[in-house]
Amino acid sequence: MTQKRPGAAKRGSRLAVRSVAGQVFVLQLAIVLLLVLAAAAGLAWQARLADVRSARERSLTCAATLALSPSTAAALRSPRPTGKLQPVSVRAGRECGIDFVAVLDRQGVRLSDPLPRLIGKRASGDFSRALAGQSYTEQFEGQPKDSVRAVAPVQDPDGTVIGLVTAGVDLATVSAKLDRELPWVGAGAAGALLLATLGAGLVSRRLNRQTRGLGPAEVTRMYEHHDAVLHAAREGVLVLDGTGRLVLANDEAHRLLRLPDHAQGQQIDDLRLEPGIAGLLASGRSASDEVYAVGDRMLAVNQRPTGSDGGPAGCVATLRDTTELREVAGQAQVAAQRLELLYTAGLRIGTTLDVVRTAEELTEVAVPRFADAATVDLLEPVIGGQEPLPGPSTAAIRRVALRFEGGAVPPLQPVDSSPAVPPLSGPGGSESGREDGSAGGGEGGGRAGDAGDAGDAGDLAESVLEPDLAAATDWRATDPERAERMLREGFHSLIMVPLRARGTVLGRACFWRRDQRAFQAADLASAEELVTRTAVCVDNARRYAREHGLAVTLQRSLLPGGLPEQNAVSAAYRYLPARAGVGGDWFDVIPLPGARVALVVGDVVGHGLHAAATMGRLRTAVHNFSSLDLPPEELLAHLDELVMRIDQDPTLGPDTAAVTGATVLYAIYDPASGRCQFSGAGHPPPALAYPDGTTAVLEAPENLPLGLGASPFETRTLTLSEGSRLALYTNGLVQVRGRDLDERLEMLRVALSGTGQGPEETCAAVLEAMLPDRTSEDRDDIALLVAETRLLPSSRIARWEVPSDPEAVAPVRAACAARLVEWGLEETAFTAELILSELLTNAIRYGAPPVTVRLLCDRYVTCEVSDSSSTAPHLRRATTVDEGGRGLFLIAQLAQHWGTRYTAEGKTIWAELSLDGAPSEVPLV
């Protein structure tokens, strides 16, 4: 492939230090030398340690043996111990092969020693451990010589230490032994160094031959050239040896000839190439620009033999793609990509009826298939679901979607900003209507980059194609800094297309390219078709948002805006609308006479305006029926009959859905007694949390939903202690796809179990526990009402039994007046006396015993007169000649409210008076 470098053979014949082989040899030699020296030092150190350890062991064995000998102990107890111990210690040292053995008394005075002159002198060192009965070895430094010695105690049979035996080896003796071993260690190290040097020399010599004596820089340069030929060259390169075996093929050759990954090392005939090019490569002859067909490519092949300068025999071939049909294939590929883009857009754009999400889907489809960055800006009325004006001139636009390819954020206006619209000259931008070649502009410069001044939305009406942003000038005029940033980021072309539906402009979409080829005219057609499909989906979402907003507004207007004032319960509520459409869930808190309150939760099956309207009708009906002070079962019976009449109304159209399927739960709580009556029509049962934290899901009467004619309805009554929390809810809270209803009710019960929580905290805790399990398929709305019960103090309740005697009216009336004075309601006492007088007189005259009177002091003063008769009083206007008939008329004028409540025992006539004693504004006549 390359000519032989001059001097390469000479350089390869010797081992130069500057060559790769020479540097490897030096490095190996240095490493081996360090390793050998380290090994020799380690062996010497280990030999010394072994000698010292051996001296310790022999000394300890000798000392311990002599100390344990009975003759040693006997000699120490004799009058002349030295004469008996000296021969024994000398003989023991000689037999044990150690330098000295000495016997000491308890004070450390030598009784025997190899050096007679030391007998009688005290030995150096601390012998406290030996006197304590412990044998040990130590490295001793002192007189007469430094040594490794062992000390062992000599003990009586009773364990008393009567003397010491020391034995040891001089350190000079240990060093002398090491000196005898070091020559052998040195000889081994020298031999290892010699062998390693020879091995390194052989390896380096072989490496020197293989690298041709090249230095590191030359080897690196040759590798870089080789890597460039393999991977970066856009011409195919093949190298074959003299036998026709493929030695080397770069990436381009693999691509052009479609070679398998394991092609290198195989014969050309085994690679199954096209016959023409296979024959050329197998022949090894020279060829210049010979064209061969390989698949759908036309390849120009050049081939030259090698080995003429003494190198290995073989040939080198280069391949170049000269296919003239590449442009046609590219156009077909572009058309296929366009079809794929539009097909993907049809599947992924418009999956939801959400304006913003539809715009985001457009950018997700466009990036990176069509552009490197995409933005969508919509008119503010469109985002809000309103109808845009046909020709908006000053309508503001807002960015709702931005997507880009790559890590760095492009200098585009962010989402929720208000980018201005660039000035446009006409249809098609610079490619179709601009004589000066100025850009239609876009973000990153001009008014498109100015977030502080919204532009003219009428400029959105035309498409813009700008294939070369660098050559344009107008778009940089007002914001050159952002324009330069866009160019530095590499953005080179832009397409901007208005979103137009039903002849109305809804916004615009901008597509930017940075890494892909510049936009062409065909790309503009693709962008317009893509945006047109998106505009239809955006318009559908906008119209749905508008209708949904109207339905939500209607529903919100039909739901209570707040809870009325009353003292029977402390209540809180939560309402979560349906995710799709408007639901028919509703709730209410209705104050009733006698300081009582009605708690209502209902649900109309279905969604949409019809469900909301039906919900409003049922809520109004419940208010009307509750004003009659009916018990729960009678109110539900009337409501059921009403629903049946609504469903059977002949004026309803055939497309109107029936109300059947509506459910309701109605409860009445009396704070004077703590009694709660509730009845339901196909509704989920209420849940109750007692003050001590225990909870239960109450067993509601099993009644059918409204509209089925399932009367009579059953009612359940229970007594609640003060501070109990009653939770009423719709089925959207507890019914979740894939979860058991009993399990969800258990979750609700657990969520209510906390103590010290008010209604607001309870609502929050319930939703926090129940909502995470809901999925996108659970689209029903939720109504939750939590009421914490209160009790009216007994001091604010007064009750009397009245005999059936007109003369009993005066004492009861006086007692009621006294009780009102006790409550500090002197101004109300007179009016209350008049009302009680009339009510008691009527009850005694027209009713049936027993007759009772009850006063309640809450937000109003309530006067109640009960008897066992069911005759209903009627208000009428008496004539001037009538002797009676004015009692109820008088009551109606004096009381704030009055009415009749029927019970199982009879009836109760009640009247409510304001606490300040102010009478009704209707004049008395």
Residue 34 is encoded by which pair of tokens?
A: 């360090």
pLDDT over 70 for what percent of the chain?
A: 80
Phi, psi of 252 (to 5 degrees): -65, -40
Residue 268 is encoded by which pair of tokens?
A: 């050309």
Whether residue 879 is predicted with pLDDT greater than 50 in this model: the reply is no
**Average pLDDT value for residue range 893-915:** 83
Position 11 scores a pLDDT of: 45
Least confident of 98-112, 231-245, 345-359: 231-245
pTM of the predicted structure, to 2 decimals: 0.52
Give me the half-sphere count of Cα atoms (radius 13 Å) on the Cβ side of residue 775.
5
**Average pLDDT value for residue range 809-823:** 87
Position 240 scores a pLDDT of: 84
Q: In this predicted model, what pLDDT tens digit does every residue of 362-398 receive, in sequence order? A: 999 888 888 889 999 998 888 887 777 665 455 688 8
Strands (DSSP E) contained in 619-724 are 663-670, 675-681, 687-689, 695-697, 716-719
Residue 588 is encoded by which pair of tokens?
A: 């209410």
Position 456 scores a pLDDT of: 44
Position 588 scores a pLDDT of: 92
**Average pLDDT value for residue range 651-680:** 80
Give me the half-sphere count of Cα atoms (radius 13 Å) on the Cβ side of residue 521.
5
Q: In this predicted model, what pLDDT tens digit does every residue of 548-605 receive, in sequence order? A: 777 777 777 777 878 888 889 999 999 887 766 667 788 999 999 988 999 999 988 7
Whether residue 156 is predicted with pLDDT greater than 50 in this model: the reply is yes
Q: What is the mean pLDDT of the chain?
A: 78
Q: Which of 492, 494, 491 is nearest to 524 (CA)?
A: 494
Q: Is 456 in contact with 381 (CB distance < 8 Å)?
A: no
Confidence of residue 740 (pLDDT cuts 50, 70, 90): confident
Position 611 scores a pLDDT of: 75
**Average pLDDT value for residue range 503-510:** 88
Q: In this predicted model, what pLDDT tens digit does every residue of 293-342 receive, in sequence order? A: 887 778 888 888 887 666 678 888 888 877 754 555 556 666 777 788 88
Say which residues have a Cβ less than 8 Å from residue 690's Cβ, sequence separation at least 6. Answer: 696, 721, 724
Position 716 scores a pLDDT of: 92
Confidence of residue 924 (pLDDT cuts 50, 70, 90): very low
Whether residue 852 is predicted with pLDDT greater than 60 in this model: the reply is yes
Least confident of 123-132, 161-170, 468-477: 468-477
Range 697-703, long-range pairs (CB < 8 A, 24+ positions): 697/745, 697/748, 697/749, 700/665, 703/636, 703/679
The residue type found at 471 is A
Position 669 scores a pLDDT of: 95
Least confident of 118-127, 474-483, 805-814: 474-483
Position 66 scores a pLDDT of: 80
∠ CA 830-835-841, rounded to 5°: 125
Q: In this predicted model, what pLDDT tens digit does every residue of 520-543 receive, in sequence order? A: 888 888 889 999 899 999 888 888
**Average pLDDT value for residue range 905-919:** 78
Whether residue 472 is predicted with pLDDT greater than 80 in this model: the reply is no
Confidence of residue 185 (pLDDT cuts 50, 70, 90): confident
Q: In this predicted model, what pLDDT tens digit does every residue of 422-444 receive, in sequence order? A: 543 333 344 433 333 333 344 53
State which of 144-148, 332-336, 469-473, 809-813 shows the largest mean pLDDT: 809-813
Q: Is 495 in contact with 465 (CB distance < 8 Å)?
A: yes
State the residue for tokens 């009612």. 715
Confidence of residue 881 (pLDDT cuts 50, 70, 90): very low
* 432 to 281, 424, 443, 520: CA distances (angstroms): 53, 12, 21, 12
Q: Is 530 in contact with 365 (CB distance < 8 Å)?
A: yes
Q: Which of 237, 238, 256 is nearest to 247 (CA)?
A: 238
Q: Tell me how far apart the alpha carbons of residues 114 and 93 are, in angstroms, rounded to a whole number.
A: 9
Whether residue 547 is predicted with pLDDT greater than 60 in this model: the reply is yes
Whether residue 288 is predicted with pLDDT greater than 90 in this model: the reply is no
Residue 339 is encoded by which pair of tokens?
A: 């079809």
Q: Which is higher by pLDDT, 771 or 308? A: 771
Q: Using CB atoms within 10 A of its CB, is residue 838 exposed (0-12), middle (13-18) or buried (19+)?
A: buried
Beta-carbon neighbour count of residue 215 at 10 Å? 18
Q: In this predicted model, what pLDDT tens digit does every residue of 836-848 receive, in sequence order? A: 888 887 788 888 8
Q: Tell me how far apart the alpha carbons of residues 809 and 837 are, in angstroms, rounded to a whole number.
A: 7
**Average pLDDT value for residue range 709-717:** 81
Confidence of residue 653 (pLDDT cuts 50, 70, 90): low
Q: Is 504 in contact with 388 (CB distance < 8 Å)?
A: yes
Confidence of residue 14 (pLDDT cuts 50, 70, 90): low
**Average pLDDT value for residue range 245-258:** 81
Whether residue 7 is predicted with pLDDT greater than 50 in this model: the reply is no
Position 20 scores a pLDDT of: 67
Whether residue 784 is predicted with pLDDT greater than 90 in this model: the reply is yes
**Average pLDDT value for residue range 620-640:** 90
Position 192 scores a pLDDT of: 76
Q: In this predicted model, what pLDDT tens digit does every residue of 46-101 receive, in sequence order? A: 777 777 787 778 778 887 888 788 888 777 778 888 777 778 878 877 778 787 88
